[in-house]
Chain A
Amino acid sequence: AQSVAQPEDQVNVAEGNPLTVKCTYSVSGNPYLFWYVQYPNRGLQFLLKYITGDNLVKGSYGFEAEFNKSQTSFHLKKPSALVSDSALYFCAVRDKIGILTGGGNKLTFGTGTQLKVEL
């Protein structure tokens, strides 16, 4: 079974400061890892993903995430937060074999972390 944990319900950051939203995962074999963002009353938007290769993945809106296999983590980061980054962030995982063998992209999502960036 695959699972994701987002240990923080909410993260508060001052604008201009770096931000980190934490995610740890559990999956059989190699993982596909994703971050999504949800603004109020909207659907989820894809931010970035890790499939293979460099452990530091760059995505939309200046976000990046670091894959750490030994710690089974995939933390979302941004060097300088903006008020407009305030939203709900979801980490998600899928095992690689499941995606490639035609079983569908049945992503398992974390419970979400509310990011609040204040002036």
Chain B
Amino acid sequence: NAGVTQTPKFQVLKTGQSMTLQCAQDMNHNSMYWYRQDPGMGLRLIYYSASEGTTDKGEVPNGYNVSRLNKREFSLRLESAAPSQTSVYFCASSSQGYRTNTGELFFGEGSRLTVL
């Protein structure tokens, strides 16, 4: 049971390049999230998708776009990477609905991105 899978695990970009981080979950969860982790700042929500077909901005959406491709997959795109986007990115998922939602998030292993 894979849970939440992120690719790639590591990436180095030059300023101005673009890339997409991929995320897939096999737990039949409705909601998916992208967080970034920076030293001393904890995890900050970039974008989330409460259900298939919807996406919403989180705390730090500038410079990012997302696509909820289907129920399983949620991608994060950097159109023109900047050094300030050097970070570790985590995808997460959760169930939804009054009876099925247990509240917690399930995380992938992370994608470490460096922008030079």
Contacts and interface: CB of A to CB of B under 8 A. Distances in A.
Interface of A: 9, 32, 34, 36, 41-46, 49, 51, 90, 94, 99-100, 102-112
B108 A106 contact: no
A51 B98 CA distance: 13
A105 B105 contact: yes
Interface in B94-116: 94, 96-98, 101-110
Given A43-B90, A49-B103, A102 B50 contact: yes
8 contacts: A36-B107, A49-B103, A94-B103, A100-B101, A104-B31, A104-B96, A105-B31, A107-B105
Nearest to A94: B103
Contacts of A43: 4, 90, 107-110
A113 B31 CA distance: 27
A105 B104 contact: yes
Given A36-B107, A44-B43, A106-B33, 5 more contacts: A32-B103, A99-B103, A104-B50, A104-B94, A106-B45
B2 interface: no
A1 B52 CA distance: 25
A111 B42 contact: yes
Which 7 pairs show the lowest CB-CB distances between chains A and B?
A: A104-B50, A43-B107, A111-B42, A109-B43, A105-B94, A109-B42, A44-B107
Identify which of A43, A51, A94 gathers the most chain B CB atoms within 10 Å of its CB.
A43
Contacts of B107: 36, 43-45
B74 to A, nearest CB: 12
Contacts of A36: 107
A49 B42 contact: no
Contact of B43 (A46, A90, A100, A102): A90
A94 B51 CA distance: 18
B108 A105 contact: no
